[in-house]
Chain A
Amino acid sequence: MIKLIKIILLILIFTLSFQKILYANNNYLLVNKISKNLRCLICQGQSVYDSQSDFALSIKILIKNKIEEGKSEKQIYDYLKNQYGEWIVYDPEFNKKNIVLWIFPLILFTFGGLLIYRKVFIK
Protein backbone atom coordinates (compact mmCIF):
# COMPACT_ATOMS: atom_id res chain seq x y z
CA MET A 1 0.00 0.00 0.00
CA ILE A 2 2.71 2.45 1.03
CA LYS A 3 4.70 1.47 -2.01
CA LEU A 4 1.74 2.28 -4.23
CA ILE A 5 1.30 5.70 -2.63
CA LYS A 6 5.00 6.34 -3.06
CA ILE A 7 4.82 5.48 -6.74
CA ILE A 8 1.76 7.64 -7.30
CA LEU A 9 3.45 10.52 -5.50
CA LEU A 10 6.57 10.08 -7.56
CA ILE A 11 4.58 10.15 -10.80
CA LEU A 12 2.68 13.21 -9.60
CA ILE A 13 5.86 15.09 -8.73
CA PHE A 14 7.41 14.05 -11.99
CA THR A 15 4.51 15.28 -14.12
CA LEU A 16 4.20 18.48 -12.13
CA SER A 17 7.87 19.36 -12.49
CA PHE A 18 7.78 18.48 -16.14
CA GLN A 19 4.81 20.75 -16.64
CA LYS A 20 6.70 23.56 -15.00
CA ILE A 21 9.61 23.08 -17.35
CA LEU A 22 7.27 23.11 -20.32
CA TYR A 23 5.55 26.23 -19.07
CA ALA A 24 8.81 28.06 -18.42
CA ASN A 25 10.06 27.02 -21.83
CA ASN A 26 6.96 28.48 -23.40
CA ASN A 27 7.57 31.85 -21.74
CA TYR A 28 11.17 31.74 -22.82
CA LEU A 29 10.14 31.24 -26.44
CA LEU A 30 7.71 34.14 -26.25
CA VAL A 31 10.36 36.43 -24.76
CA ASN A 32 12.64 35.50 -27.66
CA LYS A 33 9.90 36.11 -30.19
CA ILE A 34 8.99 39.52 -28.80
CA SER A 35 12.59 40.65 -28.38
CA LYS A 36 13.36 39.72 -31.99
CA ASN A 37 10.70 42.20 -33.07
CA LEU A 38 12.17 45.04 -31.00
CA ARG A 39 14.90 47.39 -32.11
CA CYS A 40 17.70 47.92 -29.62
CA LEU A 41 17.67 51.71 -29.37
CA ILE A 42 21.20 52.24 -28.16
CA CYS A 43 22.91 49.72 -30.43
CA GLN A 44 21.67 50.43 -33.90
CA GLY A 45 21.37 47.64 -36.39
CA GLN A 46 20.64 45.04 -33.72
CA SER A 47 17.46 43.67 -32.27
CA VAL A 48 16.92 43.49 -28.53
CA TYR A 49 17.26 39.72 -28.91
CA ASP A 50 20.72 39.99 -30.49
CA SER A 51 22.10 42.64 -28.20
CA GLN A 52 23.91 42.08 -24.91
CA SER A 53 23.79 45.75 -23.88
CA ASP A 54 22.40 46.70 -20.47
CA PHE A 55 19.42 48.29 -22.17
CA ALA A 56 18.53 45.13 -24.10
CA LEU A 57 19.10 42.83 -21.13
CA SER A 58 16.76 44.95 -18.99
CA ILE A 59 14.10 44.96 -21.70
CA LYS A 60 14.27 41.16 -21.88
CA ILE A 61 13.74 40.91 -18.12
CA LEU A 62 10.87 43.39 -18.36
CA ILE A 63 9.21 41.35 -21.13
CA LYS A 64 9.54 38.21 -19.02
CA ASN A 65 7.98 39.98 -16.02
CA LYS A 66 5.12 41.29 -18.15
CA ILE A 67 4.39 37.83 -19.53
CA GLU A 68 4.33 36.45 -16.01
CA GLU A 69 1.89 39.21 -15.08
CA GLY A 70 -0.34 37.81 -17.82
CA LYS A 71 0.09 40.58 -20.38
CA SER A 72 -0.45 39.68 -24.03
CA GLU A 73 2.11 40.15 -26.77
CA LYS A 74 0.27 43.17 -28.16
CA GLN A 75 -0.01 44.78 -24.74
CA ILE A 76 3.76 44.49 -24.31
CA TYR A 77 4.44 46.10 -27.70
CA ASP A 78 1.99 48.89 -26.90
CA TYR A 79 3.59 49.45 -23.52
CA LEU A 80 7.06 49.79 -25.03
CA LYS A 81 5.77 51.96 -27.88
CA ASN A 82 4.28 54.27 -25.30
CA GLN A 83 7.62 54.53 -23.48
CA TYR A 84 10.01 54.73 -26.42
CA GLY A 85 7.90 55.60 -29.44
CA GLU A 86 7.04 53.63 -32.55
CA TRP A 87 10.71 53.30 -33.51
CA ILE A 88 11.26 50.50 -31.02
CA VAL A 89 9.18 48.02 -33.04
CA TYR A 90 10.41 46.82 -36.42
CA ASP A 91 6.94 46.68 -37.90
CA PRO A 92 5.89 50.16 -39.08
CA GLU A 93 2.35 51.15 -38.12
CA PHE A 94 -0.25 51.97 -40.74
CA ASN A 95 -0.76 55.69 -40.14
CA LYS A 96 -0.64 59.04 -41.90
CA LYS A 97 3.13 59.31 -41.64
CA ASN A 98 3.77 55.85 -43.07
CA ILE A 99 1.04 55.82 -45.70
CA VAL A 100 3.45 56.21 -48.65
CA LEU A 101 5.45 53.27 -47.37
CA TRP A 102 2.41 51.02 -47.34
CA ILE A 103 0.58 52.29 -50.42
CA PHE A 104 3.55 52.80 -52.73
CA PRO A 105 4.22 49.12 -53.55
CA LEU A 106 0.52 48.69 -54.34
CA ILE A 107 0.60 51.65 -56.72
CA LEU A 108 3.72 50.28 -58.33
CA PHE A 109 2.15 46.86 -58.80
CA THR A 110 -1.03 48.27 -60.33
CA PHE A 111 0.95 50.53 -62.61
CA GLY A 112 3.26 47.73 -63.71
CA GLY A 113 0.30 45.40 -64.19
CA LEU A 114 -1.41 47.94 -66.39
CA LEU A 115 1.72 48.33 -68.49
CA ILE A 116 2.00 44.59 -68.99
CA TYR A 117 -1.71 44.36 -69.79
CA ARG A 118 -1.37 47.07 -72.44
CA LYS A 119 1.66 45.46 -73.99
CA VAL A 120 0.23 41.93 -74.10
CA PHE A 121 -3.48 42.30 -74.73
CA ILE A 122 -3.93 45.56 -76.57
CA LYS A 123 -2.56 45.78 -80.12
Chain B
Amino acid sequence: MKKKIYYSILFLFFIFIFSVFYLGLDKPNSYTPNEYSNKNLETFTSKELFLNDEFNSNDIIENNQFTLVNIWASWCAPCRSEHSLLMGLKEKTNINIIGLNYKDKKNNAIKFLNELGNPFEKILTDPDGTISIALGAYGVPETFLVNSKSKIIRKYIGPLKTENILEITKIIK
Protein backbone atom coordinates (compact mmCIF):
# COMPACT_ATOMS: atom_id res chain seq x y z
CA MET B 1 0.00 0.00 0.00
CA LYS B 2 2.76 2.39 1.00
CA LYS B 3 4.69 1.52 -2.11
CA LYS B 4 1.66 2.18 -4.25
CA ILE B 5 1.27 5.71 -2.87
CA TYR B 6 4.96 6.28 -3.31
CA TYR B 7 4.91 5.22 -6.94
CA SER B 8 1.79 7.19 -7.78
CA ILE B 9 3.34 10.33 -6.31
CA LEU B 10 6.47 9.68 -8.35
CA PHE B 11 4.36 9.16 -11.46
CA LEU B 12 2.39 12.37 -10.91
CA PHE B 13 5.62 14.21 -10.32
CA PHE B 14 7.03 13.10 -13.67
CA ILE B 15 3.77 13.92 -15.42
CA PHE B 16 4.06 17.41 -13.93
CA ILE B 17 7.64 17.86 -15.12
CA PHE B 18 6.75 16.55 -18.54
CA SER B 19 3.82 18.93 -18.92
CA VAL B 20 5.88 21.93 -17.80
CA PHE B 21 8.55 21.23 -20.39
CA TYR B 22 6.03 20.29 -23.06
CA LEU B 23 4.16 23.55 -22.62
CA GLY B 24 7.47 25.37 -22.60
CA LEU B 25 8.28 23.91 -26.02
CA ASP B 26 5.32 25.67 -27.56
CA LYS B 27 6.33 29.11 -26.40
CA PRO B 28 8.36 31.14 -28.86
CA ASN B 29 11.81 31.56 -27.38
CA SER B 30 12.65 34.74 -29.20
CA TYR B 31 11.65 38.07 -27.82
CA THR B 32 8.52 39.49 -29.41
CA PRO B 33 7.74 43.03 -28.37
CA ASN B 34 4.21 43.87 -27.43
CA GLU B 35 2.66 45.98 -30.16
CA TYR B 36 -0.46 46.91 -28.26
CA SER B 37 0.85 48.36 -25.07
CA ASN B 38 -1.37 50.47 -22.88
CA LYS B 39 1.47 52.72 -21.89
CA ASN B 40 1.92 56.41 -22.31
CA LEU B 41 4.56 57.79 -24.57
CA GLU B 42 7.10 59.76 -22.58
CA THR B 43 7.29 63.38 -23.53
CA PHE B 44 10.62 64.42 -24.86
CA THR B 45 12.38 67.70 -25.38
CA SER B 46 15.06 68.09 -27.97
CA LYS B 47 16.51 70.37 -30.61
CA GLU B 48 14.47 70.88 -33.76
CA LEU B 49 16.32 69.83 -36.89
CA PHE B 50 15.80 73.02 -38.90
CA LEU B 51 15.27 75.68 -36.24
CA ASN B 52 17.91 74.43 -33.81
CA ASP B 53 15.86 75.48 -30.78
CA GLU B 54 14.47 73.27 -28.02
CA PHE B 55 11.04 71.85 -28.61
CA ASN B 56 8.71 69.72 -26.50
CA SER B 57 6.82 66.84 -28.11
CA ASN B 58 3.80 67.48 -25.93
CA ASP B 59 3.17 70.85 -27.60
CA ILE B 60 1.96 68.99 -30.67
CA ILE B 61 0.52 65.86 -29.04
CA GLU B 62 -1.70 67.77 -26.58
CA ASN B 63 -3.33 69.87 -29.27
CA ASN B 64 -4.27 67.10 -31.65
CA GLN B 65 -6.61 64.17 -31.34
CA PHE B 66 -4.00 61.84 -32.84
CA THR B 67 -0.31 62.22 -33.52
CA LEU B 68 2.11 59.91 -35.24
CA VAL B 69 5.65 59.77 -33.87
CA ASN B 70 8.07 58.32 -36.39
CA ILE B 71 11.69 57.47 -35.63
CA TRP B 72 13.82 57.67 -38.74
CA ALA B 73 17.32 58.28 -40.04
CA SER B 74 18.73 59.11 -43.45
CA TRP B 75 21.17 56.19 -43.24
CA CYS B 76 18.41 53.64 -42.67
CA ALA B 77 17.27 51.89 -45.83
CA PRO B 78 13.86 50.71 -44.55
CA CYS B 79 13.08 54.34 -43.62
CA ARG B 80 13.54 55.22 -47.26
CA SER B 81 11.02 52.59 -48.30
CA GLU B 82 8.39 53.63 -45.77
CA HIS B 83 8.79 57.33 -46.48
CA SER B 84 6.43 57.35 -49.47
CA LEU B 85 3.75 55.76 -47.27
CA LEU B 86 4.19 58.52 -44.70
CA MET B 87 3.94 61.14 -47.45
CA GLY B 88 0.74 59.50 -48.72
CA LEU B 89 -0.74 59.33 -45.22
CA LYS B 90 0.02 63.00 -44.60
CA GLU B 91 -1.60 63.99 -47.88
CA LYS B 92 -4.71 61.89 -47.32
CA THR B 93 -5.46 62.46 -43.65
CA ASN B 94 -3.47 65.54 -42.67
CA ILE B 95 -2.45 63.83 -39.42
CA ASN B 96 0.32 65.51 -37.47
CA ILE B 97 3.55 63.55 -37.69
CA ILE B 98 6.48 64.21 -35.40
CA GLY B 99 9.77 62.91 -36.73
CA LEU B 100 12.52 61.82 -34.40
CA ASN B 101 15.79 61.91 -36.29
CA TYR B 102 17.84 59.05 -34.86
CA LYS B 103 21.66 59.29 -34.67
CA ASP B 104 21.88 61.23 -37.89
CA LYS B 105 23.90 64.04 -39.43
CA LYS B 106 21.94 67.22 -40.01
CA ASN B 107 23.10 67.64 -43.62
CA ASN B 108 22.23 64.07 -44.54
CA ALA B 109 18.82 64.35 -42.92
CA ILE B 110 17.99 67.54 -44.82
CA LYS B 111 19.22 66.00 -48.06
CA PHE B 112 16.98 62.98 -47.44
CA LEU B 113 13.93 65.22 -46.92
CA ASN B 114 14.71 67.37 -49.96
CA GLU B 115 14.87 64.25 -52.06
CA LEU B 116 11.82 62.39 -50.75
CA GLY B 117 9.63 65.14 -49.27
CA ASN B 118 8.87 66.19 -45.72
CA PRO B 119 5.70 64.79 -44.13
CA PHE B 120 6.69 65.92 -40.63
CA GLU B 121 5.17 68.74 -38.62
CA LYS B 122 8.29 69.03 -36.52
CA ILE B 123 11.49 67.02 -36.54
CA LEU B 124 13.29 66.57 -33.23
CA THR B 125 16.80 65.23 -33.12
CA ASP B 126 18.08 62.31 -31.09
CA PRO B 127 21.85 62.45 -31.62
CA ASP B 128 22.83 59.79 -29.08
CA GLY B 129 19.72 57.61 -29.27
CA THR B 130 18.73 58.08 -25.63
CA ILE B 131 15.33 59.62 -26.44
CA SER B 132 14.41 56.57 -28.49
CA ILE B 133 15.37 54.34 -25.56
CA ALA B 134 13.23 56.48 -23.26
CA LEU B 135 10.32 55.93 -25.65
CA GLY B 136 10.90 52.18 -25.51
CA ALA B 137 12.02 51.85 -29.13
CA TYR B 138 14.22 49.10 -30.55
CA GLY B 139 15.74 50.93 -33.48
CA VAL B 140 14.84 52.60 -36.72
CA PRO B 141 12.30 52.82 -38.17
CA GLU B 142 9.64 52.68 -35.52
CA THR B 143 6.29 54.43 -35.36
CA PHE B 144 3.90 55.23 -32.51
CA LEU B 145 0.30 56.34 -32.89
CA VAL B 146 -0.69 58.31 -29.78
CA ASN B 147 -3.79 60.19 -28.72
CA SER B 148 -3.93 63.66 -27.20
CA LYS B 149 -3.20 62.23 -23.75
CA SER B 150 0.01 60.61 -25.03
CA LYS B 151 -1.47 57.12 -24.75
CA ILE B 152 0.11 54.71 -27.22
CA ILE B 153 -2.64 53.29 -29.40
CA ARG B 154 -0.44 51.42 -31.85
CA LYS B 155 3.25 50.75 -32.07
CA TYR B 156 4.81 49.63 -35.33
CA ILE B 157 8.28 48.16 -35.13
CA GLY B 158 10.14 48.21 -38.42
CA PRO B 159 9.02 49.91 -41.61
CA LEU B 160 5.34 50.72 -42.02
CA LYS B 161 3.40 48.56 -44.45
CA THR B 162 0.38 49.45 -46.53
CA GLU B 163 -1.94 47.59 -44.15
CA ASN B 164 -0.55 49.59 -41.23
CA ILE B 165 -1.36 52.81 -43.07
CA LEU B 166 -4.90 51.54 -43.70
CA GLU B 167 -5.24 50.69 -40.03
CA ILE B 168 -4.04 54.14 -38.96
CA THR B 169 -6.43 55.82 -41.38
CA LYS B 170 -9.28 53.75 -39.96
CA ILE B 171 -8.43 54.59 -36.35
CA ILE B 172 -8.10 58.32 -36.82
CA LYS B 173 -11.28 58.71 -38.86
Contacts and interface: CB of A to CB of B under 8 A. Distances in A.
B-side interface mostly: loop
Contacts of A14: none
A44 B39 CA distance: 25
Contact of A55 (B128, B134, B138): B138
B139 interface: yes
Contacts, number: 43
A84 to B, nearest CB: 6
Contact of B20 (A83, A85, A100): A100
Nearest to B6: A118
Interface in B24-59: 30-31, 33-34, 39
Contacts of A111: 13
B100 to A, nearest CB: 12
A62 B133 contact: yes
B139 A54 contact: yes
A6 to B, nearest CB: 41
Contacts of A44: 30-31
Interface residues of B, number: 18
Contacts of B134: 62, 83
Given A54-B103, A58-B128, A85-B34, A41 B133 contact: no
Interface residues of A, number: 20
A55 B132 CA distance: 9
A59 B13 CA distance: 43
A83 B133 contact: yes
Nearest to A53: B139
A65 interface: yes
Contacts of B128: 58, 61
Nearest to A64: B130
B64 to A, nearest CB: 24
B129 interface: yes
Contact of B129 (A54, A84, A85): A54
A58 B133 contact: yes
A102 interface: no
Interface in A40-64: 41-42, 44, 54-55, 57-59, 61-62
A58 B31 contact: no
Contacts of A18: none
